[in-house]
Structure 1
Amino acid sequence: MSVIWSKVWFDLWQRKARTALAVASIAAGVFAIGAIFGMVDQLQTGMDTAHHAVQPSHMNIVLTRVIDEATAQDLLKIPGVAGVEPLNIRSIRYKFAPDEPWQTGTLVMRQDFTRQTYDWLSLVRGVWPEQQGVGIERLSSAFYGYDIGDSVIFELDGTDRAFPITGEIRHPFVPPPNFGGAAYFFADGETMARLGIPQGLYNQMLVRVEPYSEDYARDRAAVIKERLAKQGVGIFLTIYQNPDEHWGRPFIEGITLVLRVLAVVSLLTSVILVINTMTAIITQQTDQIGVIKAIGGTSDVIARVYLAGVLVYGILALLVALPLGMMGAFATTQTLLNLFNIDYETFQFSTRAVWLQLFAAIVAPLLAALWPVLAGAAISVRQAIASYGLGGDFGYSTFDRLVEKVAERFLSSAYAMALGNMFRRKGRLWLTQGVLIVAGTMFLMVLTLSNSVTFTLENEFARREYDIKLRLIGLQRADRLTQLGQQVPGIVVLEPRYTVPTTVLREGEQVKDTAGLGGELIAVPAGSTMYEPLITNGRWLRPDESGNVIIISKDTADFNDVGVGDVLTLDLGVYGADDWLVIGTYQALTADPISTDPIYAPADAVTAATKQ
């Protein structure tokens, strides 16, 4: 073994605590980089791979009334429409035991569960729904604790009926029940007919276009809407989805961005600790550097001695952090993908994350150690023997003399010595302060972000003067709803609101909304105080407002360069199109990727436009 490595191993072994702390500081940053970047890579890849595997549709069109299969297949005559698959999805009320309260769920019916075209459902266990048997979505099964062999009670017209659960099914596009998602069930056409939709009729369509692009899908959706409108069928909602990207990406991108920033900050903190460690070692061993140079050692030899030690620190840290980072990334990815109903059982790791860990463990510490190592290696024999190490020139500058004078006048001897020692090595002082400042800044950033989100949510909910929001199937008379509300104990005020799906046009071109799902015109009763969004420009509706005026979201206005005073055309489908004046914009709480863009208008104006 060479003299260089003999000294390296001696320093590492004789100062085990220092070695352990250096390795731990590097390993912390390396682990953070590997776990977070590995998780992000696997999460996005896993989501997109699972998305591709189910043959995703390009559009999910929700209709205002049911159609037959011939009407759906007739849409294939539209140029660019490559495929159409009709289906039924409707809300139901269910419970698992007679003495339980009713809950709201979703019931899905496919034409043929064994020959699906788009958005494939997967049979996990049991059999497909048939002969009065129903399937339960596997997330719902796990969350509520009901499985094959149990029964679920559906509320039918005038009676209740228990259906046996005969299958466990995976649906690729369900919100997790852990975060408030409704329970999903699956049934055949006969069971759906008992719930009000006759066999052979459908209320939704899955559509694909060829060739695919978002703009072309929107263009074909407009043609489909026009074709169906001629037959008296309106479109309540059109959900666009990119076949190459999972629908859940918007939910995780913001979180993963914050985590990546924290991982990089953790690495930078580790790097600063490496600099401090090497500075301390060289300061302590300045006399040894002088001896090495006195017997013929060069600056290059000395630099290699200490950089070799840093290399060993990095290798030891890598041996600890690399497997832990891989396992942490996989475990976190598996947990998050399970929330999105995606299986992820085979152990995998991100190649990019491994390379980043190698850089963080080997290259970054070596680069960080260059400054103190080269500074120490450059000391001459006379300086090394005569000095107190790096920073041994304390007391020669004006600032140093000022520190000494302040210490002598205001501090006792012990504190004066401590203050002088602190400023003796200014570089290490600033690095130490840098670690504390960065760590404190990130701590405050996270707390501020958390408190800001909480404050924003509290303000948003404070603007909502209602406790329950119910969405009805089909049109209902407002006076009848009010009368029913007065009969329910505990209801103080009930305010019916009419909503109608709309396509927003500007000079004949469809504008892009925040979620890409189209708009929803909401009729606000005169003088309503139930909810008033945060107005960012213009004004809210006056109590006596009755003309064709609207308030749109700030994001939609920014996307399309629309301002207060501009005129937009609202295409209400079967109800025709008309011009509306923008009088204000509001700030949406979030750009929800699965919700339409609310557009607020006076109830009298909406009634006049729709005759409803």
Structure 2
Amino acid sequence: MLRYRLLSPRWCKVWVDLAGNKLRSLLVVLSITVGVFAVGMVYSSYLMFQRDLAGSWGAASPADVGLYADPFDEELIDSIRSLRGVREADGRFNADVRVRTANGEWRYMWLTAIPDYSKQKVNVVRSQSGSWPPGDGDVLLERSSIKELGVSEGSRILVETAAGNKRLLKVTGVVYDPCQIPSLFSGRSYGYIDMDTLEKLDEERRLNQVNLVVEPWVLQGKETAPIEAVGRRAFSKLEQGDTTITWFQVNKPGEHLMQGSISAILLLLAVMGVLSLLLSTFLLINTVTAILTQQVRQLGIMKAIGAQRGQLLRMYLTLVGAYGILALVVAAPLGALAAGALTGFMAGLFNFDSGGLELPPRVLLLEAAVAVGIPLAAALWPVWRGTGLTVREAISDYGIHSVAAGGRFDRYLDIVLAKLKELPRPVVLSLRNTFRRRGRLMLTLLTLTIAGTAFMAVFSVRASLSANLENTLEYYRYDVMLQFTESYRTGRITQEVMRVPGVKAVEVWGFTPGRILRDERKESENAASSEVTVLAPPVGTELIRPVMLAGRWLVPGDESALVVDTTTVNDNPHLTVGAPVVVKIGEHKLRFTVVGIAQGVWEKTCVYAPYDWLSGAIQEAGRARSVQIVAADSAPQAQKILGRAVDEHLKRQGLRVKRVTTVAETKQRIQKGNDILITFLLIMVVLLAVVGALGLAGALGLNVLERTREIGVMRAIGASSLDIGQVFVMEALCIGLISWLAGVVLAVPMAALLEYQVGLLLFHYPLDFHFSFSGVGIWLGVSSLLSLLASLLPAWNAARMSVREVLNYE
């Protein structure tokens, strides 16, 4: 009692409102907490994700330029380091091998030999556990490959070299290389060896890759042209050493190798953060407005005994601020913990180091603004309006006046309900009560509608990604593709492949790296250019069905005709139908005319030329570097077995196979990446759905408090507990159904926008629009379930009120 004596009457009322009505206080604090938690978790995750990714990526000193070439001597690296604009350069050798996993399957592995692990300057590989550096006959596995291979330190792995020889390597440690695409997405494993081990794998003790970092003065924001100019000088230096460059790669400063997927994740985090903020805002406005509206009669009594408007305003705003502070104390640490867990999950997915838990000041400020600022803003109008009422108006308010038909909508609703005579009276009452407080109903509907819209839009993105994958697989109509280390006679390739049981059809293609130049001048070779893969299928092939966006596909009689894909056009905007283009393939500079533009697939930069003409132009007539196979059995496992059988047969015949790719494995790998993205999205949507459900539960709980006297009247005239509970359950289901209908309408444009943006970020072209009707059906079930669960506690509280309790309620 002492604390009440020390406080003035109005602050005593604030304390009683806060601590005396524990159920109502808990309801308000919980409503605010959920919104603050959602905003804090999303924003903290966004900041920690960017912080940790940038830290891991920057610590590795990632290369600005990477050059892949035929084997060359280490002395060339020193000459590249001396070039103007080059700050540092390192060389290494990458050996393409195959490794046997713990479950007996064969997968591709990139074994990297680094001359001196203690002097790494670019694309730095760091030890995580075990021995360092690798010894003779040892291999260190990149940590993202451990799970894919199913091995551990101390075990041995069996690798098969490009020549077909098998070698055992001992796994002596685990390393971290942030400059490699994680094995989950690349479909290959990574290992690190020394130069002595390299010789045991049928390779020369030389290098075939140069990574370089440019001087800071070269950088001009995100521009790649200045970096490429430095890289071209290194390109020329390698060519002067009688080395053929097979690939030239320029990286945007500060951008991760998987920046497309990362940007998509960050975009979706930002979208979900905005939606969470909107939901929390509507939830807080709804809750605080209802609480203040409920106390209109109390305002009248206080005004009757002399309370001034300013005093009442400060008193109620203090109460609302106290609710917000309590919610902030609970939500801030929970949001940080959830953000840390989410960032840890993303770190494992994209293979970067998590920097641990953090609550950045800007996040705390945003949470404080949401927890305190928004409730105060929401309370200001109802408090101002309530304190402006006369004493008579305030005291005569019973919270039930809105039941009377006060407008056209109310009259129409009453007419419709009057005709539904077959419905039970509790159901009719539920339908009428649903539209009783239309302002509160609109805010509650907004929270549920936004959650439902996001849920259905995510399912539509999933459908669009799946359709895009299927369309891509329809693009290439073969089942297995083999690439060779050198060109072989097409007749020999076809003859040997057809000898393998299970092969239905064979088609031999030209397959070679190329470079798009500005023109045929010598100076253009060192100028900015675009690396592409040149595919040369036979004209009239049935194993490729490109989606033509402009112009036409290759036809019989074509010479020097070229079809480019959209990814190539993005890098070379001047490539239009009818435009001339110069492509350098090896030592040959060929002049083409663009006859068509095809939709790109999987971020590959591909151009297509007629086989007969191209093979003659590069002096490889009658020879090819790849073969496409149609399997008699299209089952995924059968494709894997066939690919392995063809590979082994060709190697026995002296044909060196560089890579075997099956459509089934490619689909599985891409689908796994899509599923991870969709799972992440669904986690965020579930959070939104929980916010919406709690908003509905809060609104119904306040309805119970507001209608306490009505419940007493219903009890007095014989209503059972089941009847009273049914009123609130049916009201919740009705709100859930309305929000579902509104969500279906809004999900269409939101899905279209998300699919467009995700397509641009992941594939550099917008995805075709696909609306998921299964998502509509699933959300109907989910929203109904959430509405039912949200109504249980309010319905239970209403059903167990006695007549005496409710008639004595003030």
Q: TM-score, normalised by structure 2?
A: 0.68
Task: Report deviation, 1:326.
Answer: 1.0
Task: Report deviation, 1:132.
Answer: 2.5
Q: Aligned match of 1:480 in 492, 496, 516?
A: 492
Q: Residue type matched to 2:278 in 1?
A: L
1:263 aligns with 2:273: yes
> Which shifted more, 38-47 or 72-81?
72-81
Task: Spell out, residue by residue over 1:497-556, the C-alpha distance to the aligned partner (whole angstroms, 9 max, x if none).
Answer: 322222324468989xxxx972222112222222223222222223x1522222223354
1: distance between equivalents of 2:400 and 2:574?
Answer: 63
Task: Report deviation, 1:181.
Answer: 3.4
2: distance between equivalents of 1:319 and 1:534?
Answer: 56
1:532 aligns with 2:540: no
Change (3 A) 1:155 1:374: same
Q: Residue type matched to 1:52 in 2?
A: G
Residue of structure 2 equivalent to 1:291: 301
Secondary structure of the structure 1 residue equivalent to 2:62: coil
Residue of structure 1 equivalent to 2:211: 206
Secondary structure of the structure 2 residue equivalent to 1:440: helix
Q: Residue type matched to 1:28 in 2?
A: V
Change (3 A) 1:598 1:217: same
Residue of structure 1 equivalent to 2:60: 54
Residue of structure 1 equivalent to 2:169: 163
Residue of structure 1 equivalent to 2:507: 495
Residue of structure 1 equivalent to 2:199: 193
2: distance between equivalents of 1:3 and 1:555?
Answer: 72
Q: Residue type matched to 1:69 in 2?
A: E
1:22 aligns with 2:35: no
Secondary structure of the structure 2 residue equivalent to 1:283: helix
1:146 aligns with 2:158: no
2: distance between equivalents of 1:103 and 1:439?
Answer: 42
Q: Residue type matched to 2:608 in 1?
A: Y
1:441 aligns with 2:453: yes
2: distance between equivalents of 1:349 and 1:335?
Answer: 18
Q: Which runs of 5+ in 1 are unaligned?
A: none
Q: Aligned match of 1:541 in 525, 532, 554?
A: 554
Q: Aligned match of 2:583 in 571, 589, 595?
A: 571
Residue of structure 1 equivalent to 2:357: 347
1:113 aligns with 2:117: yes
Q: Residue type matched to 1:3 in 2?
A: P
Change (3 A) 1:142 1:462: closer
1:504 aligns with 2:510: no
Q: Aligned match of 2:108 in 104, 113, 124?
A: 104
Alignment of 1:191-270 (within 5 A): 191-199=197-205, 201-210=206-215, 211-213=217-219, 214-229=224-239, 232-270=242-280
Report the identity percentage.
Answer: 31
Of Structure 1 and Structure 2, the greater helix share is in 2
Is 1:329–1:349's contact at 8 Å kept on the other side of the alignment? no
Change (3 A) 1:299 1:524: farther
> Which shifted more, 300-309 or 183-192?
300-309
Q: Aligned match of 2:285 in 275, 285, 297?
A: 275
Residue of structure 2 equivalent to 1:364: 374
Q: Residue type matched to 2:122 in 1?
A: Y
2: distance between equivalents of 1:315 and 1:537?
Answer: 60
Change (3 A) 1:11 1:160: same
1: distance between equivalents of 2:485 and 2:377?
Answer: 65
Equivalenced residues, count: 600
1: distance between equivalents of 2:413 and 2:160?
Answer: 82
Secondary structure of the structure 2 residue equivalent to 1:302: helix
1: distance between equivalents of 2:379 and 2:519?
Answer: 63
Residue of structure 2 equivalent to 1:40: 46
Q: Residue type matched to 1:488 in 2?
A: V
Task: Report deviation, 1:231.
Answer: 5.1
Residue of structure 2 equivalent to 1:317: 327
Is 1:38–1:326's contact at 8 Å kept on the other side of the alignment? yes
Secondary structure of the structure 1 residue equivalent to 2:487: coil
Task: Report deviation, 1:89.
Answer: 0.4
> Which shifted more, 65-74 or 224-233?
224-233
2: distance between equivalents of 1:546 and 1:147?
Answer: 54
Q: Which runs of 5+ in 2 are unaligned?
A: 1-6, 621-810
1: distance between equivalents of 2:90 and 2:154?
Answer: 31
1:6 aligns with 2:16: no
Task: Spell out, residue by residue over 1:411-438, the C-alpha distance to the aligned partner (whole angstroms, 9 max, x if none).
Answer: 6887776666554533223223323332
Q: Residue type matched to 1:57 in 2?
A: A
> Which shifted more, 378-387 or 286-295?
378-387
1: distance between equivalents of 2:524 and 2:36?
Answer: 48
Task: Report deviation, 1:276.
Answer: 2.2
2: distance between equivalents of 1:391 and 1:268?
Answer: 30
Residue of structure 2 equivalent to 1:331: 341
Secondary structure of the structure 2 residue equivalent to 1:497: strand
Residue of structure 2 equivalent to 1:432: 444
Q: TM-score, normalised by structure 1?
A: 0.88
Is 1:108–1:186's contact at 8 Å kept on the other side of the alignment? yes
Task: Spell out, residue by residue over 1:414-463, the C-alpha distance to the aligned partner (whole angstroms, 9 max, x if none).
Answer: 77766665545332232233233323222222222222222222222233
